[in-house]
Amino acid sequence: MSENEIDNPALQRLEILKSDVAGAKSDVRAELDDIAERIGNGSVWYGTQADLFSADFDGEKDRLKNRADDLPDDVQEVIDVTPETIWLYVGPEPN
């Protein structure tokens, strides 16, 4: 690393994000199931519109769970293309 290069601070933030989303996967999945159950059994909303929404939500729930599962890999893809170091501009002081 040259004297004008520094460690890329974005990498540390991305690693933290990856850890956070990986840790939250089971919570997200459980919350989606809980929401679907409460809507489906009428404890938070009932009626024709609630029934239609519940059916739609059940269909989307699995897609949302899959996206939650994919998020750590998505963040890793960004990490993989993020430079480890960045150039620090050392130039004349602005007037």
Round to whole Å and give the CA distance between 29 and 34: 9
Q: Any alpha helices (H) in 1-95, and if so which ranges?
A: 9-40, 48-81
**What is the identity of the amino acid at 68?**
A
How confident is the model over 37-95, as pLDDT tens digits? 988 888 888 899 988 998 899 889 999 999 999 999 999 999 999 999 999 887 777 76
Tell me what pLDDT residue 40 has.
85
**What is the identity of the amino acid at 32?**
L
Q: Is residue 94 classed as helix, strand or coil in its secondary structure?
A: coil
Give the Å distances, CA to CA, from 3 to 65, 86, 88, 90: 45, 11, 9, 10
Q: Would you tell me how many other CB atoms lie within 10 Å of the CB of residue 54?
A: 20
How confident is the model over 13-47, as pLDDT tens digits? 999 999 999 999 999 999 999 988 988 888 888 89
